[in-house]
A and B are shown apart, each in its own frame.
Chain A
Amino acid sequence: MTKLKALFALLALLAGHACAAPAPKHNLFVVATINNNFVVGSKMVTLSGLFQRGPGDTYGHFGLNFPYIVSLAVDPREASVLYAASINGVLCSTDGGKTWRIGTSWDMTEPKDVFVDPHAPDHIYLALPDGIAVSRDRGATWPRREKGLPERGRYTQTIKVDRTRTGRVLAGCESGIYLTEDGAESWRRVFPTKTTVTDVRQSPHDAQLWLATTQNNGALVSRDGGLTWKKFDGVPSAEALYNVAFDTTNALRYAIGSWTYGVLTTEDGGRTWIDRNLGLPEEHCIFRVGIDPDTGRIYAAVYRDAVFTSDDFGRTWRKAGLEGSLVYNFIFVPQAAQ
């Protein structure tokens, strides 16, 4: 109850803040753990799980204090309906995180990503270490939908629904990028990889443009809706790239986060890339990047250090909260859904 009050207070503050500055059109949810080396069974002395951006560099924790949530999806019709990918399976809430139900059973563990089909919000896609499950009843049941996935190599790190077409979904797996155009009734591989595809993203400007990051195949671009993929020349590929983000305010700007390479950005649609690590900690192991769709601000999560932000697309940085955190995801949710 206390946490809910804090959330409401935070929202009220946000509302107040909105009077003084241009109203943000999106809320930022951060999925993070601040765990002081927590292991299963330890006493939890810090807050982990879901945070919502507040005024300044503050983040309000809400929902469970749970260190193993890695992704979050929000029903676009009803912001109180949440789906969280966690070590326990998918967690479902219909009251904004006040209470949760473990939606899956023992046979699904450690999903890595969860995504709601924006045009069929009862349909939720779940990326699993051993495949893909889809709920078509708002999380009540989660049958596996894996036809076309290989027996091995189906480890799925990321799953995203094409915003322009219901049931058209791209999944990043160990063995490549897979596409379904029939709501996961069947999948086909559109790009093979030898190691895990860590992220796939659709451009907010051009629905045909998709980007992907991989562990050892570099950064990939598709200009035909994910049917064919090409590697970006200017992005290193020896070590893993963790995720990619589009800048909604500028169609030519993308950012990539990498443990080894830090933050890589392009401002010309991927023709040239530059590392933007000056101003970040010397050991700039980036776990996640995000770009605020309202302002173009980059959020970069440095592993167990803090979130850093840049308002000039990586040229300068400042420490901006969530110290000691491991950020799994930055999720910008349109306020229309709130």
Chain B
Amino acid sequence: MKASAFFLSALTLLSAGALRAQPSFAGPVPSTAVVQSADQRRTEYLARVDEVQAWSAARVTPPGELITDMGLIASKLARHEDAELCSRSVIELMKEPGSGPFWMFPVVNIAFLGRDHLSLAAQKSIRDAWRTGMQIRGDTENHWAMYYTSLYLMAELYPNEPADSWYTGKSSSQNLAEARDYLVHWMDLATTVGQGEFNPTHYIGEYAIPMLFLSTWAKDDAMRARGHLKLDWLFADLAENTLNGVLHGANARTDDTSVIERWNALASFFSWICFGNTPPPANYGGWGIYFATVAKSYTVPEVIYRIATDRDGDFLQRDLKRTRRRWRNSDVLMAPIYKTSYTRRDYAVGSYQGGMADPIQTHVWDVTWAVADPRGVHNTMFSLHPMSSGYDMQTYFTELPDQMIKGVTKEGKASYDSPDKFLGGSRFEQVFQDLDTIIALYDIPPGTRFPHINGFLSKDLVNLTVDPSGWIFAQGGRAYLAYRPLAGFELQSSARIKSSWTGERADTGDKRLYSPHLKNGTIVQAASASEFKDFAAFQAAIRALPLEYALEPVPTVKFTTLRGKAVVCTYGAAPIVDSQVLDYTKWKLFEGPYLNAEKGSRKLTITHGRLERVLDFNTLTITDRVKPE
């Protein structure tokens, strides 16, 4: 290369670097103003997609070295850049095929984006890797969604090929049929009795990305439609459960970070890219890069966008979900989960009842308050029994009883066997929610590992006061919060798990309410600051609420909520509200102002104002209409 050419190239690179926009995860908080124009919404959406693609594609590879990051290759292919380097890199990467769905879907991404750009040799290397590398199917719902979507698309991409050309030992048509059967089965379950891994803070990507791939690349019209419907379904469920873009309330699965810093989750990437109302997590959450490479083929429906961004009042949503498969220790394979979400401008309260959705990473209830910039803020309050139990692991995993506790702490779930953890649920916890009141009761048998309750009291609470009445008062953002422990406790400093892999801890300034009593309970009542003259008035109102409770023989609470509901909750019995026994069996798949579906229906009606979209898996159709005034 001549010196002048080198200089020009260097200058170009420098200029590109200088001109490169600040990524949104490091930029200011996006506006939460509703974008009214469809064209503008689309333009802004595409700009966000371009931002991710450009940021990802611009990540520097040392000169002369091949790319080892499949997200970078996918981004370059999406932008039609460096096809030759990508091809050589793919060939090298495919020499050692990965080991399961987390390898499969990035490769599918590259295979499809590279159809017209990668060299024939690179494409052949991908094809060969799907012959030689036995892929691990995994054991979770998200594993299988990725695995079978990937297998489906590759079998379509390479049809009519014999069994010995696939790692499965099955022909293209056999692979396609198996993958189709599973995907249809899974969608049937999710659209009749609910998703198992519902509202996951991170695993949403493991569903949204495969569904985007299906909706974009499946040749089969029906499967392409299924992908589109399920993607809309996922984003509608996300929109319903966000507060200014932050996923709040119960999660089938989350992690040590997201459970207290509620924004810091891949779900926030999807809120950002679809709704533009919260910053994305650092590096777009990693997996967001793959979504962005194909995201231009998707249009966020206006009705879903508005559910996330354009709310005109408080709303209560009740949904039906299901637990992970219970192999043992249960009368049912999948127990129903009854999920409640009450969302207001200043805060949201969410919970689920029905038993543990997942043995390790579930999050059963919380109050999450709105903040101007959620980054770094621990804007949540909740309590839990920190269960660590081989019995419970065996319920959900096909393993021998003893090694799981030891093993799982080394497999990305470092906090599982920690007594001070804030992640997880317990079969000794029963939760009731009415609007912005939570009553969580605990009846922990003697001898249980970790026989205590952990309450999470955030560093971001202000005016935290332990009141002589027994209530703990605090303010989070514009929300007033009252927390009532039903047994003795002490407040301890909290060092949260910083790394789920190494178990490294960091002092956060949060407090742990430690209550070492087997029969126990927590009542939380939230309210908007605007409802009261001042904080003292809120406290006075709470103190005045009728409350009786007993812990023996089992915890029981009689409480009149701030909203005037007379509630009786007894551990082991159905809650009673205003003298009516709550009957969870009547719950619908979705019921609320925005999302509605009958149990077993395979049909979701999404509504916002006069806008309506019906996702019908029976007919594989999407029907939009503007309802008459």
Residues 21-62 of chain A: 1 if any B CB is under 8 Å from the residue's CB, otherwise 0? 000000000000000011111111000000000000000000
Q: What residues of chain B lie closer than 8 Å to A106, measured between beta carbons?
A: 144, 148, 178-179, 181-182, 185
The reply on B327 being an interface residue by CB < 8 A is yes
A260: chain B residues within 8 A (beta carbon): 402
Residue A11 CB within 8 A of the other chain: no
A245-B544 Cα distance, complex, nearest whole Å: 68
Asked if B403 and A41 sit within 8 Å, CB to CB, the answer is no
Query: Is there an interface contact between A287 and B403, defined as CB atoms closer than 8 Å?
Result: yes
Cβ B169 vs Cβ A37 within 8 A: no
A232 interface residue, CB < 8 Å from B? no
Do A152 and B169 have beta carbons less than 8 Å apart? no
A41 near B103: Cβ-Cβ < 8 Å: yes
A155 to B137, CA, bound (A): 20
A100 to B131, CA, bound (A): 11
Chain A residues, CB < 8 A from B400: 198, 240, 242, 259, 287
Contact with A along B78-101 (1 / 0, CB 8 A): 000000000000000000101111
Whether the pair B403, A40 counts as a contact (CB closer than 8 A) is no
- The digit string for A68-93, where 1 denotes a CB below 8 A from any CB of B, is 10000000000000000001110010
Is A37 a contact of B411 with CB atoms below 8 Å? yes
Structural contact, A40 and B170, CB atoms closer than 8 A? no
Is B169 touching A44 in the complex (CB atoms < 8 A)? no
CB nearest neighbor in A for B408: A39
Closest to A102 in B: B168
> A40 near B331 (CB under 8 angstroms)?
no
Q: Is A186 an interface residue (CB 8 A)?
A: no
On whether the beta carbons of A101 and B163 are closer than 8 Å, the reply is yes
**B188: shortest Cβ distance to chain A, in Å?**
13
By beta carbon, the residue of chain B nearest A70 is B398
- Known A-B contacts A39-B411, A40-B99; the reply to A130 vs B327 at CB < 8 A is yes
**What is the chain A residue whose CB lies nearest that of B143?**
A40
A residues in contact with B412, CB < 8 Å: 39
| Nearest-Cβ distance from residue B72 to partner chain A, whole angstroms | 17
Chain B contributes a number of interface residues (CB within 8 A of A) equal to 43
CB of A138 within 8 A of chain B? no
Asked if residues B169 and A101 are in contact (CB atoms below 8 Å), the reply is: yes
B residues less than 8 Å from A40 (CB atoms): 99-102, 136, 138-139, 143
In the complex, chain B residues 54-110 whose Cβ is within 8 Å of any chain A Cβ: 96, 98-103
Most central of A44, A99, A102 by chain B CB within 10 Å: A102
From B137, B333, B410, A88 is in contact (CB under 8 Å) with B137
User: Does B134 count as interface, using CB distance less than 8 angstroms?
Assistant: yes
Closest A residue to B181 by beta carbon equals A106
* A66 touching B332, Cβ below 8 Å: no
Size of the chain A interface, CB-CB below 8 angstroms: 43
Q: How far is the CB of B109 from chain A (nearest CB, A)?
A: 15
B330 interface residue per 8 A CB criterion: yes
Smallest Cβ-Cβ distance to A39: which chain B residue: B411
- Decide if B101 touches A41 in the complex (CB within 8 Å): yes
CA distance A240 to B394 in the complex (A): 12
CB of A68 within 8 A of CB of B136, answer: yes
- Say yes or no: A285 contacts B185, CB within 8 Å: no
A102 touches B139 (CB 8 A): no
Residue numbers in A under 8 Å from B164 (CB-CB): 99
How far in angstroms is the closest Cβ of chain A from B276? 30
B409-430 interface code vs A (CB 8 A; 1 in, 0 out) = 0111000000000000000000
- A146 interfacial contact with B, CB 8 Å: no
In the bound assembly, the distance between CA atoms of A287 and B248 in angstroms comes to 41
A110 at the interface (CB under 8 A from B): yes
Contact A64-B134, Cβ < 8 Å, known A41-B98, A99-B164? yes
Q: Is A308 an interface residue (CB 8 A)?
A: no
Complex contacts, B332 vs chain A, CB 8 Å: 152
Instruction: Give the distance to chain B from A258, nearest Cβ to Cβ, in Å.
Output: 9
Q: Which of B137, B163, B331, B403 contacts A285 (CB 8 A)?
A: B403
Question: Residues of B contacting A44 with CB < 8 Å?
Answer: 99
In the complex, B459 has a CB within 8 A of chain A = no
Q: Which residues of A contact B333 (CB under 8 A)?
A: 130, 152
Complex Cα spacing A88 to B136, Å: 6
State in angstroms the CA–CA spacing of A225 and B411 once bound together: 42
Of B168, B182, B328, the residue contacting A196 (CB under 8 A) is B328
Q: Which residues of B contact A87 (CB under 8 A)?
A: 136-139
Whether A313 is near chain B, meaning CB under 8 Å from some CB there, is no
A215 at the interface (CB under 8 A from B): yes
On whether the beta carbons of A100 and B411 are closer than 8 Å, the reply is no
Complex CA–CA separation, A43 to B102 (angstroms): 10
Pairwise interchain contact A41-B99, C-beta atoms closer than 8 A = yes
Q: Are A109 and B403 in contact (CB-based, < 8 A)?
A: no
Point out the residues of chain B lying under 8 angstroms from A129, CB to CB.
327, 398
Task: Please give, as numbers and ranges, the residues of chain B lying within 8 Å of A303 by CB-CB distance.
Answer: 403, 406
B163 and chain A: residue at smallest CB distance: A101
Within the complex, what minimum Cβ distance (angstroms) separates A10 from chain B?
22
Q: How far is the CB of B404 from chain A (nearest CB, A)?
A: 11
Give A309 Cβ to nearest chain B Cβ, in Å. 22
Contacting residues, chain A, for B137 (C-beta < 8 A)? 87-89, 109
What 0/1 pattern do residues 177 to 215 of A give for CB contact below 8 A with B?
000000000000000000010100000000000000001
Chain A neighbourhood of B99, CB < 8 A: 38, 40-44, 67
Q: Which residues of A contact B96 (CB under 8 A)?
A: 43
**For residue B403, which residues in chain A have a CB less than 8 angstroms away from its CB?**
259, 285, 287, 303, 326
**Which A residue sits closest to B96, measured CB to CB?**
A43
Is A295 among interface residues, defined by CB-CB distance under 8 A? no
Looking at the complex, which one of B144, B170, B402, B410 makes contact with A259 (CB distance below 8 Å)? B402
Q: Which of A92-142 contact B (CB under 8 A)?
A: 92, 99-102, 105-106, 109-110, 112, 129-130
Closest chain B residue, CB of each to CB of A112: B398
* The 3 A-B residue pairs with the shortest CB-CB distance in the complex, in nearest-first order: A101-B169, A41-B102, A106-B182
Binding site for A on B (CB under 8 A): 96, 98-103, 134-139, 143-144, 148, 163-164, 168-170, 178-179, 181-182, 185, 327-333, 394, 398, 400-403, 406, 410-412
Q: List the interface of chain A (C-beta within 8 A of B).
A: 37-44, 64, 66-68, 87-89, 92, 99-102, 105-106, 109-110, 112, 129-130, 152-153, 155, 174, 196, 198, 215, 239-240, 242, 259-260, 285, 287, 303, 326
Ordered by A's residue number, 18 sampled pairs between the chains whose C-beta atoms are within 8 Å are A38-B99, A40-B100, A40-B101, A40-B136, A41-B100, A43-B98, A99-B169, A101-B163, A101-B170, A102-B170, A106-B181, A109-B137, A130-B333, A196-B328, A240-B402, A259-B402, A285-B402, A287-B400
A40-B143, A112-B398, A155-B398 provided; 11 other pairs, C-beta below 8 A? A40-B99, A41-B99, A43-B99, A68-B136, A87-B136, A87-B139, A106-B178, A109-B139, A174-B329, A240-B400, A287-B400
